[in-house]
Amino acid sequence: MDDSSDLPPHSLSARYTLPAAFEEIAFRGVVLTMFLVHHSRRRAILVSAAAFSVIHLLTLAGGRPPLWVAGQLAWAFCMGIFHGTLCVRTASLLPAMLVHCLGNLFSGSLTGGMQSRAPVGTQVFYDLILSLGVVPVTLIVLWVRFFVRRWPVPGP
């Protein structure tokens, strides 16, 4: 089996990482910011996470199985909460963009090729263990803590 197309520079990493910046601008830069004006931080983060999750329904049009899409919706909602919290706590989009790009790079180009060749049941199991499991959630929590502690928050 040739996995050379899964690794940079031949991978689809730009396809997975570039949209992350635009998604952060749309969902955290616009939706989250708009809701922060009139709602609590918690509600604004939840609304932006829900909107981020719902946009991932478009993967149904790409022919993905409903079970796979349901997993992606749940994951996108959780990621939206992490990214929204990161934006609010750091008062910046940049840390969330970086975390989102790194997450997409890992799950998309580095592991996506291996996973896409597996049957749907195996893909779902793989997602529960690696994509939705303890390893990435732990890394995300550590990234958020790292950025929140080190990112300079502008004063009032």
Q: Is residue 64 part of a domain?
A: yes
Q: Is residue 63 part of a domain?
A: yes
Q: Is residue 6 part of a domain?
A: no
Q: Is residue 61 part of a domain?
A: yes
Please, are residues 86 and 141 in contact by the beta-carbon 8 Å criterion?
no
Per-residue pLDDT band for 23 (boundaries 50, 70, 90) equals very high
Q: How are the residues of the chain apportioned to helix, strand and coil, as percentages rounded to the nearest 5?
A: 80, 0, 20
Q: For 9, which DSSP code?
A: T
Q: Is residue 5 part of a domain?
A: no
Q: Which residue has the higher pLDDT, 22 or 125?
A: 22
- What six digits make up the tokens of 115? 């996973």
Query: pTM for the full model?
Result: 0.72
- The CA radius of gyration of the chain, in Å to the nearest whole number, is 16
pLDDT at 37 over 90: yes
The whole domain housing 72 covers 11-150
pLDDT in the model for residue 51: 96
pLDDT in the model for residue 55: 92
Structural domains in the chain (count): 1
Q: Is residue 65 part of a domain?
A: yes
> What's the whole-number mean pLDDT along residues 75-84?
90
Q: Which residue has the higher pLDDT, 45 or 70?
A: 45
Q: Is residue 4 part of a domain?
A: no
Please, are residues 28 and 97 in contact by the beta-carbon 8 Å criterion?
no
pLDDT in the model for residue 9: 53
| Per-residue pLDDT tens over the stretch 93-122 | 988 888 888 777 666 655 555 566 777 667
The mean pLDDT value of the chain amounts to 78
Q: Is residue 142 part of a domain?
A: yes
Dist CA 112 CA 104 (whole Å)? 10
